Structure 1
Amino acid sequence: MSRPVDLGTPTTRSFDDHNPPSQDLIDDCVHCGFCLTTCPTYVLWGEEMDSPRGRIHLMKTALEGESLTDEMAGHFDACLGCMACVTACPSGVQYDRLLEQTRAQVERNHERPRAEKALRAAIFALFPYPRRLRAARLGLRLAQRTGLDGRLRRSGLVERISPQLAAMQKVAPTLGPREPLPELIPPHGERRARVALLTGCVQSEFFPQVNAATARVLAAEGCEVVVPRAQGCCGALSSHSGREQEAQGFARATIDTFEPLDVDYLVVNSAGCGSAMKEYEHLFAGDAAGGVDEQRLATFRAKVRDLSEVLAELGPRAERHPFEITVAYHDACHLGHAQGVRDQPRELLRGVPALRLKEIRDAAVCCGSAGVYNILQPEAASQLGEQKARNVLDTGAELLVTANPGCLMQIAASARDLGRPIAVAHTAEVLDAALRGVDARTFVAERT
C-alpha cells in the first residue's frame, strides 16, 4: 500500500501546500506563443486556455487564489501531456513538470462528476494491474474469436451506452496467444551487456509479442536478459494522470524489484513507461518522507534506457536479412519529446537491408493516444487520430512503426475508421523479423 502523504496546512487557495506548481517554473514562461502551433488542443480548438501558455496562466491564477472550477479543471484535463511545447519552447519552460504538479492538485482538490469519477476509478483499478488485465484479455479474446466484438461495434450499442467504453473497444488490438518469457535469456555469442527488461502492464498482456521480440533482439545482439517475475506497473499511467500516491507506490515497487539486479541497463520498450521512470525524482519531489532517497533514485534512473538507446549504443553485431518494405516511423511523444530519443530508432530501421523509411508530415503532433486520454477524451482523441492516420497513409508506407503500445492501437484504429487499414508494428518487431529472416510481405499481412 502507498504511504499517506502529508498534504500540509490547508489554504484558501485552489491548491494545497503539498508540492503546488512552482512559481519559479511558471515565471519562466514569457507567453511568446512559440508553443501554440505545436499544441494539439490549441490547433483543434483555437482556444487560448487550451494552449500551454493559457494553462500556465490558469496555474498562476489558482496559486493566487482563483477557485478550481469545473471549467479550469477541464482545461487541464484536455491537455494530452504530449510535451511538444517543451520541445518548441525557446525559454526552456518545464511544462511537463508543471502539468504533473497541477494534475496532482486537481485530483486531490477537485470534485469530479460522479460518472467521470467512476470511469477513472475503473480505469485505474484495471490497467496498472497485469493479473486483472489478463482476466480482461481472456474475455476480449473470446469476444474477438466468436465475432461478438465486431457485432457489438457495428451495432453502435456500446457507443450509445458510453462513448468512453466505445473508445476503449475501438482501440483494442486483435489478440493472439501470450508469449511468456523465461527469467533469464542467454546472449548469442560473447556477452556484451547484462540487461533487465521491463515487461509492463498493458504491454505484457496486450502486446506480449513485443516483449518477446525485444528479448530476442537483445539476446541476438549479445545481451544477457533478465526478466523478473515479480515486476508490475511502473506507475506511468498514474503519474501522468495526477494520481501521485498511487504512482509513488508503483514506483517504489519497481525500484525494489530491479534495484538488486546486477545489470548494466534497465531496458524499456514503452515510451510512456521510459519517460516516467527517467523522472522518478520528480515524482517524489516535495515529499520529504519519500521513502526513496535521492541517491537511490539517481542510481536507478541512470540505468533506465529505451530499447533503441541500448541497441544504438552497442552497435549492430547480428546479421540483418533484407526486409523489403516501405515503413513510416511515428515518434511517440514520450520518446521523442519527453526523452529526446529520435535518431536512434531511425538509425536502427535504416540499418535493415531493403527497408525504405518514410517521414510523416506534422510528425511532432500527438496521435491522440496519450496514455488513457483516448478513453477520457474520445472526441478530441478521435480527431487527432484521424489526422495522424491520414498523414501516415499519405506517405504510401505499407507499415507504421512506433515504440509505444498506445500509439499502435490509436493509429491502427483511426486508419480502420478511414476505411484504409494499415499494418502496425513496434520497432523491436521489425528488427526481430529482419534478424530472423521473416518475409516482409507475410509480416505485413499478419498485422493488417
Structure 2
Amino acid sequence: MAETAVLATEQRAPLLVAPRRGEPLDRALFRQCVHCGLCLSACPTYRVFGNELDSPRGRIFQMRWVAEGKIAPDNPHFRQHISLCLDCRACETACPSGVSYGRLVEAARGWIAPASWRERLLRRLLLGGLLTAPRALRLAAAALRVYQRSGLQRVVRATGLLDRLPGGLAALERMQPRLDGPLFSPRLPELIPAAGQRRARVGLIVGCVAGELFAGTNWATARALARSGCEVVVPPAQRCCGALAVHAGERDLARQLARRNIAAFEAAEVDYVVVNAAGCGSTLKEYGELLERDPRWAERAHAFATKMRDASELLVELGFAPPERELRLRVTYQDACHLAHGQRIREQPRALLRAIPGLELVEMGDSDHCCGSAGVYNLVHYDVAAAILETKMRRIAETGATMVAAANPGCILQLRHGAERFGVPVEVVHPIDLLDRAYGAQRMT
C-alpha cells in the first residue's frame, strides 16, 4: 500500500496526504519550485553541510517523494533532513518563484510521527501543557529565579553536573536569561490608557515563555504604544500563539490556540493587535491560512490576521512620539528571520533606533542570516546552531558595536549565549527596550 494517497487527478491540483498523520497539501505548492537553486546560498544548513538534501530545493524533492509514496514519511533520512531545517524562510526571500517553503516544511513535519515515547511525552508536556498554561509558566519562572539566586546554579556549573545532563537540558541551562526583580514578575493591567488623545485601541499579545522571561519588554511596548496615543488592552484569556506547535507540525493544537486567541481579541474590540516577538507575529499573521478549511473560523481568522502588527510596524505606521533622551551607543541590528523573511519587516525596527538621539546604528554583514535560535532548534540541534551562531558573532564583532538589537526573544537569548561563548563584548536587547530607555524609563514596570 502506498504511503500517501492521491485524492484527485494531477490536472485538478490534487491534495496529498500521509495516511497515519498530517493533513492535505496541494500539489500546486510543489510545482511552484522550478529547481533553480537560488535558495541554496540563503540556507543556513546548506552553508554548514554543503549537502543538497539539507537545502530547500533538496527538501522539497524529498517531500515530493513522500507525497508520491516513493519513501515513507518515517524514513530516518527524511526525518533527519526535515528536522535539520530551521524554518527561517530565508529561502522564501531568495526565491523568484514565490515558493511557500514554510508551509511545505511545516506540513512535512506533521507527516512524521514522534520517534520515541520520550519525544511524545515532551511534546505533550511542553506544547500541550506548559506553554498553554499561564499559571504553570509563572511557577516555572519563579522556580528558575530560585535556582539562580539560591546558589544551586553555581553548584551545577562548578561541579560539572551540567555536562552530564541530556543535550537539550544542558543547552537550555546554558542559555537561560538572568531573571532579576521579584519572584513573580508584575503583570500588565488589563487596560492602559493612552497618553493624551486616543488614536487607536490596541490589543497586546504578551506571549507565553516570552511573557515571563521578557516581561520588561512587554511593559516597554505598552508604554511606547500609550505614549503614541494608543489605548492598550491586555485580554487575560489570551494564550500561547501556537508558533512552536506549528513549527513542530502539531497544527491541530495550533488551531485550538488560534481559536482561543481570536475569540479573546474579538471580545476586546480592538483596532489592532500588536506583538513584539517576531516568531509569534509571523504565526499570528498566518492564522487565516491555519484556519482556512474551518468554515466557522476562516473569516474570523482572516479578519484577525489583517489587524496584526509587529510593535515597530504599528509605531511607525501611526507615527510614534520621538524620544528626547540621548543614548550614546554604537548599536548593530540583527534581522530576526520571522520578521525579515516571514513578515518582510526590515526598516521599521531600524527607524525606531535611528530616532534615538545619540545612537549610532551600524549595519552588520549578512544581518538577515539566521542566528541559529529557530524556536527550540538550538536545544535540539545545539552543535549545528552553534556553528551558525559562530558566523553571526563574527559579523557582529566586525561592526565594533557595543550593543545588538534584535526583535525576537529567541534571537536575544541565542545572541547573549553567543556573546558569552565566543567572547564578543556586546549587550543584546530588544529595540523597544532601547526606545523605552530613550523615553526615560529606569525600571521594568
TM-score (norm 2): 0.91
Name 1:166's counterpart in structure 2.
170
Uncovered stretches (5+) of structure 1, i.e. residues with no partner: 1-8
User: Aligned-pair distance for 1:359?
Assistant: 1.2
- Give the alignment of 1:308-319 within 5 angstroms: 308-319=312-323
**CA–CA distance in structure 1, aligned partners of residues 24 and 425 of structure 2:** 44
User: Aligned-pair distance for 1:256?
Assistant: 1.0
**Deviations for 1:390-429, whole angstroms, at most 9, x for unmatched residues?**
2212211111111111000011011101133421111111
**CA–CA distance in structure 2, aligned partners of residues 428 and 323 of structure 1:** 14
> Greater CA deviation, 388-397 or 198-207?
388-397
Equivalent residues, number = 426
| Structure 2 residue 226 is the aligned partner of structure 1 residue 219 | yes
Q: Is the 8 A contact 1:207 1:405 kept in 2?
A: yes
**Deviations for 1:76-119, whole angstroms, at most 9, x for unmatched residues?**
1110000000000011111011112211222xxx3403444444
Counterpart secondary structure, 2:203? strand
> Greater CA deviation, 20-29 or 300-309?
20-29
- The residue type equivalent to 1:330 in the other structure is Q
| Structure 2 residue 193 is the aligned partner of structure 1 residue 186 | yes
Name 2:13's counterpart in structure 1.
none
Q: Is the 8 A contact 2:43 2:56 kept in 1?
A: yes
| Structure 2 residue 89 is the aligned partner of structure 1 residue 89 | no
Q: Is the 8 A contact 1:97 1:282 kept in 2?
A: no
Name 2:18's counterpart in structure 1.
15
**CA–CA distance in structure 2, aligned partners of residues 338 and 275 of structure 1:** 6
- Give the alignment of 1:225-236 within 5 angstroms: 225-236=232-243
Equivalent of 1:378, from 375, 378, 382? 382
| Structure 2 residue 269 is the aligned partner of structure 1 residue 262 | yes
User: Aligned-pair distance for 1:193?
Assistant: 1.3
Name 1:78's counterpart in structure 2.
84
**CA–CA distance in structure 2, aligned partners of residues 58 and 332 of structure 1:** 27
User: Aligned-pair distance for 1:131?
Assistant: 1.9
**Deviations for 1:8-35, whole angstroms, at most 9, x for unmatched residues?**
x974998239634431111111111111
**Deviations for 1:356-385, whole angstroms, at most 9, x for unmatched residues?**
111122212111111111112111112212
| Structure 2 residue 38 is the aligned partner of structure 1 residue 34 | yes
Identity level (%): 45
| Structure 2 residue 103 is the aligned partner of structure 1 residue 103 | no
Counterpart secondary structure, 1:259? helix
- The residue type equivalent to 2:405 in the other structure is V
Q: Is the 8 A contact 1:128 1:202 kept in 2?
A: no
- The residue type equivalent to 2:95 in the other structure is C
**CA–CA distance in structure 1, aligned partners of residues 371 and 421 of structure 2:** 14
- The residue type equivalent to 1:72 in the other structure is F
| Structure 2 residue 204 is the aligned partner of structure 1 residue 197 | yes
Name 1:238's counterpart in structure 2.
245
**Deviations for 1:21-60, whole angstroms, at most 9, x for unmatched residues?**
4311111111111111110011011111110000000011
TM-score (norm 1): 0.90
| Structure 2 residue 422 is the aligned partner of structure 1 residue 418 | yes
Name 2:72's counterpart in structure 1.
67
Q: Summarize the Cα distance change of 1:40–1:150 in structure 2 as closer, same or farther, 3 Å threshold.
A: farther
Q: Is the 8 A contact 1:320 1:437 kept in 2?
A: no
User: Aligned-pair distance for 1:318?
Assistant: 4.5
Counterpart secondary structure, 1:180? coil
Counterpart secondary structure, 1:251? helix
CA root-mean-square deviation: 2.1
Q: Is the 8 A contact 1:271 1:334 kept in 2?
A: yes
Equivalent of 1:401, from 398, 405, 408? 405
Q: Is the 8 A contact 2:323 2:435 kept in 1?
A: no
| Structure 2 residue 261 is the aligned partner of structure 1 residue 279 | no
**CA–CA distance in structure 2, aligned partners of residues 277 and 321 of structure 1:** 33
Name 1:360's counterpart in structure 2.
364
Q: Is the 8 A contact 1:194 1:265 kept in 2?
A: yes
Counterpart secondary structure, 1:228? coil
Counterpart secondary structure, 1:324? coil
**CA–CA distance in structure 1, aligned partners of residues 196 and 152 of structure 2:** 47
Q: Is the 8 A contact 1:239 1:283 kept in 2?
A: no
> Greater CA deviation, 64-73 or 384-393?
384-393
Q: Is the 8 A contact 1:14 1:62 kept in 2?
A: no
